[in-house]
Amino acid sequence: MVAAASVVVTVGALTGMLSALDDGRGTDEARPPEVTRSPSLRYVPLQPSAFPSVTKSAPPTSASPTPKRKAAPTPSPTRTETEQKRQQAPAVSPRLYRHPDSQVLEWVRDNPADPRHAVIQSRIGAQPAAVWFADFTPATITARVRAVTSGGSALGRVPVVVPYAIPDRDCGGYSEGGAPSLDAYDDWIDRFAAGLGSGDVIVILEPDSVAQSECLSAGARADRFASLARAGRAFKQANPKARVYYDAGHSGWNAPGKQARWLKQAGAGSAASSDGVFSNVSNFHATADEIAYDRQVLDALGGPEGLGAVIDTSRNGAGPPADGEWCDPAGRKLGRAPTLATGEARVDAYLWVKLPGESDGCKGRPGTFTASYAYDLAR
């Protein structure tokens, strides 16, 4: 999808596998694994949640991205720099689950001698991140989801899963695709729910499905929102411990009141289907701005006092680029480490929904892990 500061790129994810890498890029890109895809770009209740370890205290316009000139090659780090970065690695959440099958971990395993290895492994590879399910595969989705949730349960940790198969996904943009119809999607959701197990799990329900719905007719939008509300109910019924969050876009997109009206229609204000909202998925907006925005959305949404927000902090350490560039913009940094203890009222978690280093399509092929980009974010 291409929208003003808002796109989720899943090229390659939809087919499940990419072909072998071209010559000269074998040490910089990793082929996407079978289980997960982290697409790419987009653009809070005072009472404690029952979710373990969650601590609570107190509009886009379609446009084609403009190609950017290639950045100068990233210099190889010195041994001293590598040692310093190893010591500065952010704390790893003891409660969130790190799935062992990801592109960054594949690159780490395959490139132990690369001078960027220690920095990428300690600052990105060691962190828990979301697992995306972006291909419409009804026959296998239950088993694939179960593999992730059971892996988290076995370790007593909380997995984060992202169903991403809504029909008309991305409004025909880079991540176009999804289920062939809402009936097929509803069936896929039921099969997804069957894999959620009985342990703690966070569900990031369909990035951009609400915030980017203006491309749909009023009737199609209402039908989509009905399916999203149904999806939340299916997840909660299948696993009462599942926490389901709905798409709030981000602080640079729709006004809080408009976003809340749509969210309410999509079921985000009902305890039967929702635990709150998520924002900033694959984008770069500062955490403080997202906290303020999410609280405004939640205030306008109403609903149970327990509704909260989760924020994607994977690449927002330097905030958004001044020129509004969405495609692998230079000068970005890793954001706050994933945690279920934010210390912020109405903010349930900071999560890495977009895996840092997976390209939006400018520093590598869309959806592929690119070591030079990951190193720039991490160092």
Q: Out of 114, 348, 360, 376, which one is annotated catalytic?
A: 360
The answer to whether the beta carbons of residues 7 and 175 sit under 8 Å apart is yes
List the one residue out of 242, 259, 257 whose CA is nearest residue 189: 242
Quickly tell me which residue has 């719905």 as its tokens.
Answer: 213
List the one residue out of 198, 270, 195 whose CA is nearest residue 232: 270
Known active-site residue 208: yes
Q: Out of 168, 208, 312, 348, which one is annotated catalytic?
A: 208
Amino acid in position 42: R
- Residues 181-194 as b or e (16 or more Cβ within 10 Å = b): ebeebeebbbbbbb
- Residues 61-75 as b or e (16 or more Cβ within 10 Å = b): eeeebeeeeeeeeee
3-state SS, residue 287: helix
Known active-site residue 360: yes
The answer to whether the beta carbons of residues 156 and 340 sit under 8 Å apart is no
The answer to whether the beta carbons of residues 182 and 227 sit under 8 Å apart is yes
Angle between helices 218-238 and 182-193 (to 10 degrees): 20
CA distance 117 to 37: 22
The answer to whether the beta carbons of residues 28 and 375 sit under 8 Å apart is no
According to DSSP, the residues that pair with 159 across neighbouring strands are: none
What is the DSSP track for 90-146? PPPPSSB---S--HHHHHHHH-TTSTTHHHHIIIIITS---EEE-S--HHHHHHHHH
The answer to whether the beta carbons of residues 367 and 353 sit under 8 Å apart is no
CA distance 63 to 245: 28
Contacts of 352 (CB under 8 A, 6+ apart): 127, 128, 129, 130, 312, 313, 314, 338
CB atoms inside a 10 Å sphere around CB 82? 18
Q: Out of 170, 289, 328, 348, which one is annotated catalytic?
A: 170
Residues with a catalytic annotation lie at 170, 208, 360
